Amino acid sequence: MRKIFLVTLAVMAMSVALVAFAGDVELPENITIDQCAKKKAPVEFTHKAHFEYATCVDCHHTSEGLTLENAAETEVPTCGSCHIEPEDAETPICSSAKKKDNPYHINCIGCHKEFKVENAETTAPTKCNACHPKPEK
- pTM exceeds 0.85, yes or no: no
Cα 22–chain centre separation: 19
Phi-psi region of 96 (alpha: psi -120 to 50; beta: other; left: phi over 0): beta
Domains of the chain: residue spans and CATH: 27-131 (3.90.10.10)
pLDDT at 15 over 50: no
How remote is the C-alpha of 72 from its chain's centroid?
13
Q: Smallest Cα–Cα separation from 82: which of 62, 55, 57?
A: 62
Q: Render pLDDT for 38-94 as a digit per residue (tens, 0 to 9).
A: 778 889 989 988 988 899 999 999 999 999 899 888 888 888 888 999 999 899 998
Question: When comparing pLDDT for 5 and 89, which is higher?
Answer: 89
Half-sphere exposure of 110 (CA within 13 A, CB side): 12
Handedness of CA 96, 79, 40, 131 (dihedral sign): positive
Confidence of residue 110 (pLDDT cuts 50, 70, 90): very high
